[in-house]
Amino acid sequence: MSCAHTPACPSVSDRSCWTAHVVADHSEQGWCRLCNGVILFDDGYYLAPDGHSEPVLVSA
């Protein structure tokens, strides 16, 4: 997965993968696609390219 952002976006295996840049905003449908392929939903969950879904972790 190539990334042209600076600083580089986190990889999909990173715990903060959902903080990658938005590359396709479909917020009117409740989701957007991130630079690393993660789909971020506005209900607080994200879907990784391998198919698993997790709640967004808000780090303390």
Burial of 18 per CB tally in 10 Å (0-12, 13-18, 19+): buried
Q: Which residues from 1-60 bind Zn ion, rule CB under 5 A?
A: 3, 5, 9, 21, 35
CB nearer to Zn ion: pick between 5 and 26: 5
41 strand-pairing partners: 31
- Cβ neighbors of 15 (< 8 A, separation 6 or more) are 57, 59
CB nearer to Zn ion: pick between 32 and 35: 35
Binding footprint of Zn ion, residue count (CB under 5 A):
5
Would you tell me which residues interact with Zn ion (CB under 5 A)? Answer: 3, 5, 9, 21, 35
